C-alpha cells in the first residue's frame, strides 16, 4: 500500500439477481455485481442503461423489485427486508451537488458526521479536517450560493468523506462542471477517496473519466452488465460489440472469418485480408464484424511502386481523407475506404482533405465479433 | 376567500413538476426471520405498536384523512338531491324532483340571474384585465408599478366588504346623504344587477390580470414586429397580440365566471339588499329556512357545481391543445411603447379612476362611515369623530367577535399549513401515481366548490342521526366551525404550496437521508427551513382569508360565538352603520398588523440561512 492509501475500512458490496421495472420499462434485468472492498468501481454506460437505478437502489433511495444487496456480511435488502438509507453507512456525491442552501459550508459537512455521535470538539476537528483536505477551510462560513460550481462540488466531496463512511457513491459528479474543472476535481476525488480507504462506486457515461478513475469498470447496457473488469481488460478484450463500441471505435467492416494465423484471427473483407483478435470462439466461415479501434489505425503515404494485388494480406488499404480536425496535440482524420468510413484516425501532422493515402490496420487493435451477436447498441454498417 | 388563492394560481397555469416516487416514511421493516444481522435485528425490535403504522404508505393515510374531512360531508349532501330516502330526507329512493323544484320559481330566477351576472362580469373583467395588463407591461405609463400591489390587495379583500363600502355611501342615511347629497338616483342604478356586476368585476380583475399578464409577459415583441415589417398597422398588430393571448383570455373568462357565480359575499349583502336573487343566496335561504329543505338545497348546489366545473373545464381546455407556445429561449423582451404626454395623461387618469373605483370608493365609504358618530341610527351626533371606535373597543359584545375570529384563524392557519405542506409534498413527489392523481382531483374539485355549498354540506352531514349515534356531537360547536375552516382552506393552500414543494430538488432530502437522517428529521432540518418563506406566506394568506371568511362562518357559527364577519353583518343589519364599519376597519387593520409582525419576526428572528432562499440581489 502506498503512502497515499490507508488501511481499508470499506466493505465489499454484493448484488445478486437485482431487477427493477418502471411501469413496463425494465431498467435492470437480473444484475449480479461484486464490488471489491476499498476499491474504486466505476459503472459506465449510456443513459437508460440502468446505472443510475442501480446506484439509487444501493443508496436506498429506491427499492429493487427482486434481488439482494449485501454490504460485507450484512444483508441490506432482500424481499421485504430492507435497511433504510440512513442506516446503511453511506455517503453520496450528487450530480447537482445537493448542498443544503440554508446551511453554511461547515454546517453542511457537519450534518454528515452527526450520525457518529462524536463530542462537539471531535466533530469540529473532523469537519475542519475534511474541509482542509478539499482546500475550502477558508470558506467554511459561506453559504452554497456564494460558491462556484466546482467549490460546491468540493464541499459535497468533503461532506462525503467526513466521518469515514464505508461506501461512497458518486452520481455523475463531474457532469455539471466545466471541462477544465473536471480533470482537477477528478484527481481530488480519486486521491481523497482512496486516502480514506472507503469503497467507492461511481457512475458515469464518460469513457475517459471511467478509465482514468477505476480500479474496476462495469459496462452497463439496457439493464445488464455486459462486462466487468479492469480498464485494460475492457479496452483490450471487450466481451461484446457494445462494450467495444462504447469504449471507442474508429469504425467497423463486414467480413468473413477464414482461419487463424500467427496467433491472430484472419478476416476476409472484400479483396483484403486482415488480422485481428477476437474474444469469442468463431466457427469457420462465419460472418463477422471487424471493429477497429482508433489506436489501431495509421495513415501512410501511398508508395510510388504501389500496386493493389500485393497488398491483399498486408493489412493496408487505400483510403481518401474526408475531414481533418485539429485537436491541439495533433489532428483527427475521417477517412473513407472501400469498406466504410473510419473516424478519429490520429496523426501529428494534418493530411489535407481529398488526399489519397494508405490506411494501415494494426491487428492488436482490431476485434472480430460474429454478426449474430449484434444487439441494438452496436454500430453496424 | 378560501378558493381565491387556488383559483388565482389556476389562472396563471399550474407550474407543477411531477417527480418520481420518493420512498415513503419508514420503509417496510424487517419481518421476523432467522437472519441475524444487527441492523435487521434492530429493525425487527422496532416493529412494534405504533411503528407498524410506518409500513403504511403515508399517501394512503392522508387520503383517508382528506376523504373524511372534505369529501364525505359534501358527498352525503349531494346525494340527498337524488336519493332523499337514503338519508331520511324524504320518501323517494331515486328522484329528480328536487332538480325540478330548483329550476322553478324564485330558485330558477336566482339561477338565471347568477348566469347573467357571471357572464357579464367575466367579459368586463377580461376587457379591463387586458387593458390593465397592456398598460402595465407594454407602456411606460407612470404609476404602473403599484398595480401588482393593488391587484394583491384586491385579491385579499373580501367581496362583501367592498359591497358594504359602496352601500355605506349610497344608502338612505348613508355617508353621502349625511354630507347632503341625494343618492336616490345613484342608488336605483347601483342597487341591482349593475352594482353587483361592478363589485364582482372589481373582484374579478385580479384573476383576469394575473392570467393575461402572465401570458403577455411571455409574448416577445417579434410577432408585432413581423406584422409591422410586412405593412400592417398598429391595430392589426394589436389584434395579433389578442389572438396569441387567446388561451389566456379564455382562461380569464372561465375563472372570473366561476368566481362570480360562487360568490357569497356580494350575494348576501348587495344582492340581498337590492332584492335581486342569485343562486348562492337562494341556497343560503333554503338552508336557513324552517323546515330546511335539504333536497332542494342539494339540487341548487348541483347546479352551481356543474356551472363551476364546466367553467374550469373550459379553462383547462383553453390552456391545453392549441399551440401557442410563444414562450421560448428566442423570445426577446417586449419593448415598451413610449407614451407621449397626452398618452400618459390618459392612461394615468384611467388608472387612477380604476384604482378609485375598485378600492378607493369602498374604502372611503367604510372609513367615512366609521368616523361618523352613530351613522345609520337616529341617535348619535353624526359628527366626525372616533366615537364609533371607542364604542366598539369598549363593548365586549362588539369586540369579542374579532378576538374569536383571530384565535380561530390562527389555529386554522397553523393546522392547514402543516397538513397542506405534507399534502403538497406528497403531490409533488407522487403526482403521477394513481394515489397522487386522485388526491389532485379531489383537491381540484374541493377548490371548485363554492364555500356556501361546503357549509351546507357540513350542516347536513353533521346533523345526521347516524353521525350522532357514533358519538360525533360537534354540530353547533366551535370544533365544527374550525373543522370547516380547515377543510375549506386545505385544498387551496395545498395547491399554493405544490409549486414550492415541486421546486425542491429531490436530492435535498435524498442527501439528508443518505447521510444519516431519518425521514422525519430530514423534513424538519432540510425541507421546512428551505420552504420557510413560502410556508410563512401560506400561513398569512390562510390567516387573513379565514379571519374575514363569510359563508362558512355565517352557516356554522355556534350560538353565542360570532365570527367577525357575522358580527359585522349583524351590527350593520341593526342599522348601527358606524359600529359595523368601525369593526370592519379594525378587522382589516388587525389583519395587516399580524402580517407586518409576522414578516418582522421572520426578518429579525429567523436564522440567516432561512432567508437566503428566494432572495433577489
pLDDT tens readout for residues B421-432: 888 888 777 766
Mind telling me how many Å the CA of A80 is from chain B's nearest CA?
7
Q: Which residues of B touch A60 (CB under 8 A)?
A: 23, 513-514
pLDDT at residue A44, rounded to an integer: 95
Alpha-carbon span A299 to A319, nearest angstrom: 9
Strands A297-300 and A287-292: unpaired
Q: Name the one residue in this structure whose C-alpha cell is 338519508.
A: B87
Q: Regarding predicted confidence, which is higher, B519 or A43?
A: A43
The arithmetic mean of pLDDT across residues B445-471, rounded, is: 82
Question: Cβ A80–B28 below 8 Å, yes or no?
Answer: yes
Q: Regarding predicted confidence, which is higher, B465 or A183?
A: A183
Q: Name the one residue in this structure whose C-alpha cell is 373580501.
A: B158
Helix axes B294-319, B434-448, angle to 10 degrees: 120
Residue B134's pLDDT band, with cuts at 50, 70 and 90, is confident
Does the pLDDT of residue B234 top 50, yes or no? yes
Q: How many helices (H) and strands (E) does chain A have?
A: 8, 21
Q: What are phi and psi of A371, to 5 degrees?
A: -60, -35
Alpha-carbon span B318 to B321, nearest angstrom: 7
Q: Which of B40, B507, B516 sits opposite A83 (nearest CB)?
A: B40
Residue B58's pLDDT band, with cuts at 50, 70 and 90, is low
pLDDT at residue B135, rounded to an integer: 87
Q: Which residues of A touch B505 (CB under 8 A)?
A: 96, 98
Q: Which residues of B touch A86 (CB under 8 A)?
A: 513-518
pLDDT at residue B51, rounded to an integer: 43
Q: How many helices (H) and strands (E) does chain B have?
A: 34, 0
Q: Name the one residue in this structure whose C-alpha cell is 392589426.
A: B236
Least confidently predicted of A180-189, A294-303, B294-303, B380-389: B380-389
Where helices occur in B289-358 by DSSP H, the ranges are 294-319, 341-355
pTM comes to 0.77
Where helices occur in chain A by DSSP H, the ranges are 51-59, 105-111, 120-133, 149-161, 179-196, 207-213, 231-236, 241-246
Alpha-carbon span A34 to A52, nearest angstrom: 17
The arithmetic mean of pLDDT across residues B597-617, rounded, is: 79
Among B27, B41, B514, most A C-beta atoms within 10 A, so best to mutate, is B514
Q: Regarding predicted confidence, which is higher, A109 or B292?
A: A109
CB A173 within 8 A of CB A188: no
- Residue B87 sits at the vertex; the CA angle it makes with B82 and B89, to the nearest 5 degrees, is 75
Least confidently predicted of A79-93, B127-141, B210-224, B451-465: B210-224
- The CATH 3.40.50.300 domain(s) of chain A lie at 13-236
Residue B372's pLDDT band, with cuts at 50, 70 and 90, is confident
CB B70 within 8 A of CB B446: yes
Percent of chain B whose pLDDT exceeds 70: 86
Question: Cβ B514–A85 below 8 Å, yes or no?
Answer: yes
Percent of chain A whose pLDDT exceeds 70: 92
Q: What are phi and psi of A162, to 5 degrees?
A: -65, 145
CA-based nearest residue to A84, from B513, B175, B479, B50 = B513
CA dihedral B524, B525, B531, B536 (to 10 degrees): 60
Does the pLDDT of residue B28 top 60, yes or no? no
Instruction: Tell whether domain A245-373 is in CATH 2.40.50.140.
Output: yes
The answer to whether B36 contacts chain A (CB < 8 Å) is no
Residue B399's pLDDT band, with cuts at 50, 70 and 90, is confident
Does the pLDDT of residue A4 top 70, yes or no? no
Does the pLDDT of residue A117 top 50, yes or no? yes
Ranked by mean pLDDT, the top range of B40-49, B123-132, B258-267 is B123-132
A314 CB contacts (<8 Å, ≥6 apart)? none
- Residue B382 sits at the vertex; the CA angle it makes with B379 and B384, to the nearest 5 degrees, is 145
Percent of chain B whose pLDDT exceeds 90: 15
CA-based nearest residue to B375, from B188, B126, B516, B584 = B584
Alpha-carbon span B368 to B375, nearest angstrom: 10
Q: Which residues of A touch B525 (CB under 8 A)?
A: 111
Q: Cell digits for A165? A: 463512511
The answer to whether B606 contacts chain A (CB < 8 Å) is no
What residue of B is the nearest CA neighbor of A53? Answer: B20
CA distances from B264 to B456, B550, B554 (A): 13, 7, 10
Residue B326's pLDDT band, with cuts at 50, 70 and 90, is low
B244 CB contacts (<8 Å, ≥6 apart)? B219, B223, B324, B326
Q: Regarding predicted confidence, which is higher, B225 or B218?
A: B225
pLDDT at residue A157, rounded to an integer: 94
Could you read off the pLDDT of A58-75 as tens digits, one per residue? 999 999 999 999 998 889
For residue A309, what is the DSSP state? Answer: G
The arithmetic mean of pLDDT across residues B59-68, rounded, is: 72
CB A110 within 8 A of CB A190: no
Residue A309's pLDDT band, with cuts at 50, 70 and 90, is low
Question: Cβ A75–B510 below 8 Å, yes or no?
Answer: no
pLDDT at residue A189, rounded to an integer: 93
Report the mean per-residue pLDDT for chain A. 88
Question: Cβ B514–A91 below 8 Å, yes or no?
Answer: yes
pLDDT at residue A308, rounded to an integer: 57
Question: Cβ B516–A82 below 8 Å, yes or no?
Answer: no
Cis peptide before B8 (omega within 30 of 0): no
CA-based nearest residue to B209, from B148, B288, B146, B274 = B148
Least confidently predicted of A35-39, B140-144, B282-286: B140-144
pLDDT at residue B302, rounded to an integer: 87
Residue A10's pLDDT band, with cuts at 50, 70 and 90, is low
pLDDT at residue B615, rounded to an integer: 54
Residue A25 forms beta bridges with which residues?
Answer: A22
Residues within 8 A of A (CB atoms), B 518-577 only = 518, 525-526, 529-530, 532
CA distances from A60 to A90, A169, A204, A258, B102 (A): 10, 11, 19, 51, 57
pLDDT at residue B48, rounded to an integer: 45
Does the pLDDT of residue B49 top 60, yes or no? no
Among B29, B46, B511, B532, most A C-beta atoms within 10 A, so best to mutate, is B511
DSSP helix/strand/coil, B192: coil
Q: Regarding predicted confidence, which is higher, B101 or B323?
A: B101
Mind telling me how many Å the CA of B539 is from chain A's nearest CA?
20
DSSP helix/strand/coil, A172: coil
Q: Name the one residue in this structure whose C-alpha cell is 374550525.
A: B482
Residue B29's pLDDT band, with cuts at 50, 70 and 90, is very low
Does the pLDDT of residue B451 top 70, yes or no? yes
Q: Which residues of A touch B504 (CB under 8 A)?
A: none
Report the mean per-residue pLDDT for chain B. 80
Question: H or E element: which one contains B82?
Answer: helix B72-82
Mind telling me how many Å the CA of B413 is from chain A's nearest CA?
24
Residue B346's pLDDT band, with cuts at 50, 70 and 90, is confident
Cis peptide before B291 (omega within 30 of 0): yes
Q: Cell digits for A59? A: 443508496
CB B286 within 8 A of CB B300: yes
Q: For domain A13-236, which CATH number applies: 3.40.50.300, 3.30.300.210, 1.10.730.10, 1.10.260.40?
A: 3.40.50.300
The domains of chain B, with CATH numbers, are: 60-95+390-610 (1.10.3720.10), 112-292+311-375 (1.10.3720.10)
- The CATH 2.40.50.140 domain(s) of chain A lie at 245-373
Question: Cβ B27–A82 below 8 Å, yes or no?
Answer: yes
Amino acid at each position: 500500500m502506498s503512502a497515499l492509501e490507508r488501511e481499508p475500512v470499506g466493505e465489499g458490496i454484493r448484488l445478486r439477481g437485482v431487477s427493477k421495472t418502471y411501469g413496463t420499462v425494465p431498467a435492470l434485468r437480473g444484475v449480479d455485481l461484486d464490488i471489491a472492498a476499498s476499491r474504486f468501481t466505476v459503472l459506465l454506460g449510456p443513459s437508460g442503461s440502468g446505472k443510475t437505478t442501480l446506484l439509487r437502489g444501493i443508496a436506498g433511495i429506491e427499492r429493487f423489485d427482486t434481488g439482494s444487496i449485501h454490504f460485507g456480511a450484512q444483508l441490506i435488502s432482500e424481499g421485504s427486508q430492507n435497511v433504510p438509507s440512513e442506516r446503511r453507512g453511506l455517503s453520496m456525491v450528487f450530480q447537482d451537488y445537493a448542498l443544503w442552501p440554508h446551511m453554511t459550508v461547515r454546517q453542511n459537512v457537519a450534518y454528515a458526521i452527526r450520525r457518529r455521535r462524536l463530542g462537539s470538539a471531535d466533530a469540529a476537528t473532523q469537519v475542519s479536517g475534511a474541509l482542509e483536505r478539499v482546500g475550502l477551510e477558508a470558506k467554511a462560513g459561506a453559504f452554497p450560493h456564494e460558491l462556484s460550481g466546482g467549490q460546491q462540488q468540493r464541499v459535497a466531496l468533503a461532506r462525503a468523506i467526513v466521518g469515514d463512511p464505508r461506501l461512497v457513491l458518486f452520481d455523475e459528479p463531474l457532469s455539471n462542471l466545466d471541462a477544465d474543472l473536471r480533470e482537477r476535481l477528478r484527481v481530488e476525488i480519486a486521491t481523497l477517496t482512496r486516502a480514506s480507504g472507503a469503497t467507492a462506486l461511481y457512475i458515469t457515461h464518460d469513457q475517459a473519466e471511467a478509465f482514468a478513475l477505476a480500479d474496476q469498470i462495469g459496462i452497463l447496457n439496457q439493464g445488464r452488465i455486459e462486462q466487468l473488469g479492469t480498464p485494460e481488460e475492457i479496452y483490450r478484450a471487450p466481451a461484446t460489440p457494445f462494450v467495444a463500441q462504447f469504449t471507442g471505435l474508429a469504425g467497423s467492416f463486414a467480413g468473413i472469418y477464414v482461419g487463424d494465423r500467427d496467433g491472430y484471427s484472419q478476416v476476409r473483407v472484400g479483396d483484403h485480408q486482415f488480422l485481428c483478435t477476437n474474444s469469442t470462439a468463431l466457427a469457420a466461415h462465419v460472418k463477422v464484424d471487424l471493429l477497429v479501434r482508433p489506436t489501431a489505425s495509421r495513415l501512410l503515404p501511398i508508395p510510388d511502386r504501389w500496386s493493389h494485388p500485393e497488398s491483399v494480406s498486408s493489412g493496408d488499404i487505400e483510403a481518401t481523407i474526408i475531414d481533418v480536425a485539429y485537436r491541439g496535440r495533433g489532428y483527427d482524420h475521417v477517412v473513407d475506404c472501400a469498406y466504410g468510413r473510419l473516424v478519429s484516425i490520429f496523426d501529428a501532422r494534418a493530411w489535407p482533405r481529398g488526399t489519397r493515402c494508405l490506411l494501415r490496420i494494426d491487428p492488436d487493435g482490431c476485434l472480430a465479433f460474429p454478426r449474430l451477436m449484434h444487439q441494438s447498441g452496436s454500430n453496424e454498417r | 376567500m378560501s378558493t381565491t388563492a387556488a383559483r388565482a394560481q389556476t389562472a396563471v397555469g399550474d407550474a407543477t413538476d411531477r417527480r418520481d416516487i420518493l420512498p415513503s416514511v419508514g420503509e417496510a421493516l424487517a419481518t421476523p426471520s432467522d437472519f441475524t444481522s444487527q441492523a435487521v435485528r434492530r429493525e425487527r425490535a422496532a416493529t412494534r405498536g405504533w411503528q407498524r403504522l410506518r409500513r403504511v404508505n403515508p399517501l394512503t393515510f392522508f387520503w383517508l384523512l382528506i376523504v373524511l374531512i372534505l369529501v364525505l360531508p359534501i358527498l352525503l349532501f349531494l346525494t340527498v338531491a337524488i336519493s332523499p330516502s337514503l338519508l331520511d330526507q324524504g320518501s323517494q329512493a331515486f328522484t329528480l324532483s328536487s332538480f325540478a323544484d330548483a329550476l322553478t320559481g324564485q330558485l330558477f330566477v336566482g339561477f338565471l340571474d347568477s348566469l347573467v351576472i357571471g357572464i357579464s362580469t367575466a367579459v368586463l373583467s377580461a376587457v379591463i384585465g387586458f387593458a390593465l395588463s397592456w398598460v402595465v407591461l407594454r407602456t411606460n405609463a407612470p404609476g404602473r408599478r403599484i398595480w401588482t400591489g393593488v391587484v394583491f390587495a384586491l385579491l385579499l379583500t373580501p367581496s362583501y366588504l367592498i359591497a358594504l363600502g359602496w352601500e355605506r355611501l349610497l344608502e338612505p342615511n348613508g355617508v353621502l346623504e349625511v354630507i347632503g347629497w341625494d343618492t336616490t338616483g345613484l342608488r336605483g342604478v347601483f342597487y341591482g344587477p349593475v352594482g353587483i356586476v361592478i363589485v364582482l368585476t372589481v373582484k374579478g380583475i385580479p384573476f383576469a390580470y394575473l392570467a393575461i399578464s402572465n401570458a403577455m409577459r411571455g409574448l416577445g415583441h417579434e410577432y408585432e414586429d413581423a406584422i409591422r415589417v410586412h405593412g400592417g398597422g398598429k391595430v392589426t398588430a394589436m389584434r395579433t397580440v389578442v389572438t396569441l393571448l387567446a388561451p389566456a383570455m379564455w382562461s380569464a373568462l372561465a375563472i372570473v365566471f366561476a368566481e362570480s357565480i360562487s360568490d357569497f359575499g356580494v350575494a348576501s349583502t348587495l344582492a340581498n339588499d337590492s332584492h335581486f336573487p342569485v343562486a348562492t343566496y337562494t341556497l343560503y335561504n333554503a338552508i336557513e329556512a324552517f323546515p330546511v329543505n335539504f333536497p332542494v338545497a342539494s339540487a341548487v348546489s348541483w347546479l352551481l357545481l356543474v356551472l363551476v366545473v364546466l367553467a374550469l373545464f373550459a379553462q383547462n381546455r383553453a390552456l391545453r391543445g392549441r399551440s401557442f407556445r410563444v414562450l421560448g429561449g428566442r423570445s426577446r423582451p417586449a419593448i415598451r411603447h413610449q407614451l407621449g404626454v397626452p398618452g400618459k395623461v390618459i392612461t394615468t387618469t384611467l388608472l387612477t379612476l380604476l384604482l378609485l373605483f375598485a378600492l378607493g370608493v369602498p374604502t372611503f365609504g367604510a372609513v367615512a362611515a366609521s368616523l361618523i358618530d352613530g351613522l345609520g341610527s337616529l341617535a348619535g351626533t353624526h359628527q366626525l369623530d372616533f366615537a364609533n371606535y371607542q364604542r366598539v373597543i369598549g363593548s365586549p359584545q362588539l369586540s369579542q367577535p374579532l378576538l374569536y375570529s383571530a384565535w380561530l384563524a390562527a389555529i386554522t392557519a397553523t393546522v392547514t399549513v402543516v397538513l397542506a405542506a405534507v399534502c403538497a409534498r406528497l403531490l409533488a413527489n407522487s403526482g403521477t401515481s394513481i394515489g397522487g392523481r386522485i388526491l389532485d382531483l379531489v383537491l381540484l374539485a374541493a377548490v371548485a366548490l363554492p364555500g356556501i355549498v361546503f357549509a351546507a354540506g357540513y350542516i347536513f352531514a353533521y346533523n345526521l342521526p347516524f353521525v350522532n349515534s357514533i358519538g360525533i356531537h360537534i354540530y353547533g360547536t366551535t370544533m365544527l366551525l374550525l373543522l370547516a375552516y380547515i377543510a375549506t382552506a386545505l385544498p387551496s393552500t395545498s395547491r399554493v404550496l405544490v409549486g414550492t414543494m415541486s421546486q425542491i430538488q429531490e436530492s435535498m432530502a435524498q442527501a439528508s437521508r443518505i447521510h444519516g437522517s431519518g425521514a422525519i428529521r430530514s423534513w424538519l432540518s432540510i425541507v421546512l427551513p428551505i420552504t420557510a418563506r413560502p410556508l410563512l406566506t401560506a400561513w398569512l394568506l390562510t390567516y387573513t382569508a379565514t379571519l374575514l371568511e363569510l359563508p362558512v362562518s355565517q352557516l356554522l357559527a355556534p350560538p353565542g360565538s360570532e365570527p367577525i364577519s357575522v358580527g359585522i353583518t349583524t351590527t350593520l343589519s341593526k342599522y348601527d352603520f358606524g359600529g359595523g364599519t368601525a369593526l370592519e376597519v379594525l378587522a382589516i387593520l388587525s389583519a395587516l398588523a399580524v402580517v407586518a409582525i409576522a414578516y418582522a419576526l421572520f426578518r429579525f428572528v429567523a436564522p440567516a440561512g432561512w432567508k437566503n432562499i428566494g432572495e433577489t440581489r
